[in-house]
Amino acid sequence: MKTELFTVLPVHEARAKMALYLPADLRRSERRSLLDCIGRRLAQPVLAKENVPGFPRSTVDGYAVRARDTFGASEGSPAYLLVKGEVKMGAGAGLEAGVGEAVQVATGAMLPPGADAVVMVEHTEPAGAEGIEITRPVGVGDNVILADEDIKTGEEIFPHNHLLRPQDLGFLAAVGGLELEVYVPLRLGIISTGDELVPPVERPGPGQVRDVNSYSLFGLALSYGGEPVLYGLVKDDFRKLKATLARAHAETDLVLISGGSSVGARDLTAQALAELGEPGLVFHGLAARPGKPTLGAVRDGKPVFGLPGHPAAAMIAFDLLVAPLLKYGSYQKTSPGLPPLPALVSRSLSSAPGREDFIRVKLRREEGKLWADPVLGKSGLLSPMVQGDGFFRIPLEKEGVAAGAPVEVYLFGTDYVL
Amino acid sequence: MKTELFTVLPVHEARAKMALYLPADLRRSERRSLLDCIGRRLAQPVLAKENVPGFPRSTVDGYAVRARDTFGASEGSPAYLLVKGEVKMGAGAGLEAGVGEAVQVATGAMLPPGADAVVMVEHTEPAGAEGIEITRPVGVGDNVILADEDIKTGEEIFPHNHLLRPQDLGFLAAVGGLELEVYVPLRLGIISTGDELVPPVERPGPGQVRDVNSYSLFGLALSYGGEPVLYGLVKDDFRKLKATLARAHAETDLVLISGGSSVGARDLTAQALAELGEPGLVFHGLAARPGKPTLGAVRDGKPVFGLPGHPAAAMIAFDLLVAPLLKYGSYQKTSPGLPPLPALVSRSLSSAPGREDFIRVKLRREEGKLWADPVLGKSGLLSPMVQGDGFFRIPLEKEGVAAGAPVEVYLFGTDYVL
């Protein structure tokens, strides 16, 4: 077969070779309102422009005091302090807490000048009309948040490329970060090929199956922050494929052609990529299973990939080669997120040295241990692609894993860099 | 304090009491096109209307044969078969593979009648103008997917309430499920209260801080599939709070009031919920840390929650009481997703019996073990809310955990039912 004549590259070499022809970052950025930024990535680090909370603040309901005035206080021998007044919520302190004085504060209220701690109301008793007895001592700083204890002016709140999560919105609101410079989602053109495919609205005839990849790649693109554009199904017709590819290349930032599973369809895709213009085809085949019949090409700094026809293989190839570009605009790794999860593989699997294997697994907890159950199935089955929580990798040089061996599981849908 | 007079309920009792006054499911459903369904949940199970692939299919490039004709074949003594022709991709088989005959097939092509296995092209040699030699035997079913091997007619593809993920789109496309009955996101009204708060666009004056909860709750609501509506900041003014609550209650499915941190603000919220109408206030305080000053109320079958003012506490209370409603429309648990992850806690923590503690942690892998490092910080700090990968629970009856003890970590952003 023609496709076998080309050199097959390991994933990291395929990436490095693509990177030679790609810009340092495929993305452009824009300013957006905070509420529209979930799922976007920061094009600049966010620095704090001011201290938070910005003033010393009580963390309890009680009395602001000078800690020294409470030293030695106990139930049997309470300290007596004169209550000078109350700090209102959301207002400046006004009052000062002098020696032997206490000022009433609610949780979140500003600490009055002079005070360096707060006694919880539970550890006080009223004493006369204007005083309190304190039955437990406090140390300096007890029940107080300092003016810059939460966030310091100039501190980096989130780094460049940080993915904005729901919980980040509140934190950014706290520092007044209501507009952010974030990356614009890359537009992904998706083309399916294969004489055996029919659009999903049609009922397949004998020997035909529905186009699956357009839809799973659409979903994956969205989940990694891309903006997918479907160019539909092109039957194995070279002129039509070339024309559709040219249109998708002009209109989007990155194009995917998921090949039919036949050799003919794969060859058509390879030829279309080779004729794309300089540098054209960059690699032809991945040393990975699944994912071997994957092609990479570049024109005008835009990547074009030929993905395997098998849906599960196309998804893995997408994770390896397309997802990093959607997330980071390049193959440069950024700060690691969640570590891969240590688990024990529940059955032995063999692998060929010189090939990376990506094994889909379902996680199971048993007797305090996390087991990774491989989701196996004949090549080309669809059902495995919707099963499993993540996958682990058998590295290039290894010949397999034994049942009970430790593996590192990458969960689907989390922010990893493989 | 007034709020202390009420009974504080454990989380599961608070849920059960709320459920008495809520409909069996808060949600309604609608039909949507497949591409618009990511992140939605199925209002009905999806059943397969036909077999997939629908015909027996080759998983390799090679020759469809009767397996029996290859028995005993080897390099030294190959089996000879007459090649009868080729099955075209996407077409019916046409030909029949008779005894002693082979039919050429590409990966994905239909198996011709008579054939029960496929010999890989690598295990064949051309022999004369019309024949091949087979150097390895195949068994019945080798390199073949049966007509109903992937999906059987009538099989449940996804259950009721299944969250539609990117990889599901392709699978649904394969069975022609291009329109789905999915739940409509619940609309969540979000109100913030507290005299010390200012809208994030303003620069806080002395004793003031920006409203954080409106934004973090907005983000959380979206991440669990809700549709948040911000009703802004209501200072501690009872009449205004009541009017805003009435409007939010009329316009949305579920209302959240995140209280100021002061007792006064909490009392105002409690009073507004009590005056909401029958049954009004359902529970007043959670036996949880953080999350104690949480209130639950119902009117006209719509839940209203008073959430703690502390942002990190408000988020936990949201996860415990609001997230299940957004995900499942009720507190009924559905099928479990990912199991909680077994990890070792890296330091000792104490807890009061009769209270559930929710400990935010960062996961760290060291020597093949997964460690959960508690993200600690004074109550009321904002920074911990953007740290950590998930949390673990110290149950009601336990007095704490010792350093090195096993804990179960729930990752943020995954489909758990706590």
Which of A250, A224, A237, A258 minimizes the C-alpha distance to A195?
Answer: A237
CB B268 within 8 A of CB B193: yes
Distance CA A344, CA B342 (A): 12
In CATH, what number does B341-411 get?
2.40.340.10
| CB-defined contacts A:B, below 8 A | 320
When pLDDT is averaged across residues A134-143 and rounded to a whole number, the result is 96
Enter the ipTM: 0.89
What is d(CA A209, CA B129) in angstroms, rounded to the nearest whole number? 33
The sheet that has A79-86: what strands, in order across it?
A117-120, A62-65, A101-105, A79-86, A131-134, A124-127
Question: Which positions in chain A touch B195 (Cβ < 8 Å)?
Answer: 88-90
pLDDT at A417: 55
Closest CA to B334 of B45, B7, B116, B49: B45
* pLDDT score recorded for residue B3: 41
| Interface touch B109/A196, C-beta < 8 Å | yes
The one-letter amino acid at B399: E
**Run of H or E including A149:** none
| pLDDT at residue A260 in the model | 62
Strand pairing category for B254-258 and B302-307: parallel
| A262-308: pLDDT as tens digits | 666 778 888 898 888 888 899 999 999 999 999 999 999 999 999 99
Which residues in chain A have their CB less than 8 angstroms from residue B361's CB? none
CA distance A131 to chain B (A): 19
What residues have CB less than 8 Å from B308, skipping those under 6 apart?
A: B258, B259, B261, B290, B291, B292, B293, B294, B314, B317
The residue extents of the domains of chain B are 2-27+185-328, 30-49+159-183, 57-145, 341-411
To the nearest whole Å, the CA of A255 is away from the closest chain B CA by: 18
Question: What distances in angstroms separate CA B290 from CA B156, B221, B242, B282, B373, one per listed residue?
Answer: 40, 19, 26, 20, 18
Select from B324, B389, B381 the least CA-distant residue to B360: B389
Structure tokens at A389: 């929580």
Question: Which residues of chain A lie closer than 8 angstroms to B151, CB-CB?
Answer: 382-383
Contact B257, B306 (CB under 8 A): yes
**DSSP state at residue B259:** P
Determine the Cα–Cα distance for residues A207 and A195; give it in Å rounded to an integer. Answer: 10
CB A209 within 8 A of CB A260: no
Return the number of other C-beta atoms located less than 10 Å from residue B352's C-beta: 14
Domain B2-27+185-328, CATH number (from 3.40.50.300, 2.40.110.10, 3.40.980.10, 3.30.70.2860): 3.40.980.10
Determine the Cα–Cα distance for residues B327 and A259; give it in Å rounded to an integer.
37
Reported as a pLDDT band with limits 50, 70 and 90, residue A102 is: very high
A62-86 pLDDT tens trace: 999 999 999 999 999 999 999 999 9
CB A105 within 8 A of CB A62: yes
A200 CA to chain B: closest CA distance, Å?
Answer: 5
pLDDT band, residue A113 (cuts 50/70/90): very high
Counting DSSP H helices and E strands in chain A, the numbers are 7, 28
Chain A closest-CA separation from residue B253 CA (Å): 21
Judge: A222–B339 Cβ closer than 8 Å, yes or no: no
C-beta atoms of A210 and B174 within 8 A: yes
A371 contact residues in B (CB cutoff 8 A): none
Phi, psi torsion values for A25, nearest 5 degrees: -145, 130
Q: Distance between the two ends of chain B, CA-based, in angstroms?
A: 31
Q: Which residue has the tokens 């089955």?
A: A381
Q: For B270, phi and psi rounded to 5 degrees?
A: -60, -40
Q: Which residue spans within B205-301 are E strands per DSSP?
A: 209-210, 227-234, 254-258, 279-284, 288-289, 295-299
- Tens digit of pLDDT at every position of chain B (418 positions): 344 446 789 999 999 999 999 999 999 999 999 999 999 999 999 999 889 999 999 999 999 999 999 999 999 999 999 999 999 888 888 889 999 999 999 988 999 999 999 999 999 999 998 999 999 999 999 999 999 999 999 999 999 999 998 889 999 999 888 999 999 999 999 999 988 899 999 999 999 999 999 999 999 999 899 999 999 999 878 999 999 999 999 999 999 999 765 667 778 888 898 888 888 899 999 999 999 999 999 999 999 999 998 888 999 999 999 999 999 999 987 656 778 899 999 999 999 999 999 999 999 998 889 999 999 877 778 888 888 889 999 999 999 999 999 999 988 877 665 5
Please answer whether residues B40 and B316 qualify as being in contact, where contact means their C-beta atoms are separated by less than 8 angstroms. Answer: no
CB B207 to CB A109 under 8 A? yes
A21-40 average pLDDT score: 96
Encoded amino acid at A252, one letter:
T
CA distance A18 to chain B (A): 26
Selected for mutation to probe chain A from B215, B234, B369 (highest A CB count within 10 Å) is B215
The rounded distance, in Å, linking the Cα atoms of A329 and B376 is: 34
The pLDDT score that the predictor gives to residue A89 is: 87
Superfamily for domain range B57-145: Molybdopterin biosynthesis moea protein, domain 3. (2.170.190.11)
Q: Tell me which architecture the domain covering A30-52+152-183 has in CATH.
A: Alpha-Beta Complex (3.90)
Tell me the one-letter amino acid at B181.
E
User: Closest by alpha carbon to B160, among B275, B42, B307?
Assistant: B42
Nearest CB among B166, B341, B412 relative to A341 is that of B341
Which of B194, B210, B393, B191 minimizes the C-alpha distance to B305?
B191
B206 and A147 Cβ atoms separated by less than 8 Å: no
Q: How far apart are CA B178 and CA B37, in angstroms?
A: 10
Q: What pLDDT does B186 receive?
A: 98
* Distance between A206 CA and the closest CA of chain B, angstroms: 5
H helix or E strand, kind and range, residue A358: strand A356-366
A195 neighbourhood in chain B, CB within 8 Å: 88-90
pLDDT confidence of residue A338: 79
Question: Is the Cβ pair A205, B363 closer than 8 Å?
Answer: no
User: What distance in Å separates the CA atoms of residue A52 and residue B154, rounded to the nearest whole number?
Assistant: 59
Give chain B positions within 8 Å (CB) of A260: 89, 108
Q: pLDDT value at position A233? A: 94
Least CB–CB distance from B167: residue in A210, A385, A414: A385
Residue B270, pLDDT score? 87
Q: Spell out the CATH class of B30-49+159-183.
A: alpha beta
Mean pLDDT, all residues of chain A: 91
What class is the A2-24+185-328 domain? Answer: alpha beta
Nearest to A359 by CA among A287, A260, A288, A261: A288
Subunit contact B378:A145, Cβ cutoff 8 A: yes
Helix (H) or strand (E) holding B39: none
pLDDT of residue A262: 60
Q: How many CA atoms lie within 13 A of A140 on its CB side?
A: 2
Per CATH, A2-24+185-328 and A57-145 having the same topology is answered no
Residues B333 and B19: their CA atoms lie apart, in Å, by: 13
Report CA-CA distances (Å) from A390 to A316, A387, B12, B166. Answer: 11, 9, 31, 14
pLDDT(A7) > 80: no
Greatest pairwise CA separation for chain A in angstroms: 98
Q: How far apart are CA A249 and CA A189, in angstroms?
A: 7
Residue A124 gets the label, from left (phi > 0), alpha (psi -120 to 50) or beta, of beta
pTM of the model: 0.91
SS3 for B384?
helix
Contact A304, A247 (CB under 8 A): no
Evaluate the CA torsion angle B27, B31, B34, B36 in order and state its sign: negative
Q: How far apart are CA A76 and CA A4, in angstroms?
A: 89
Please, which residues bridge with residue A101 across strands?
A82
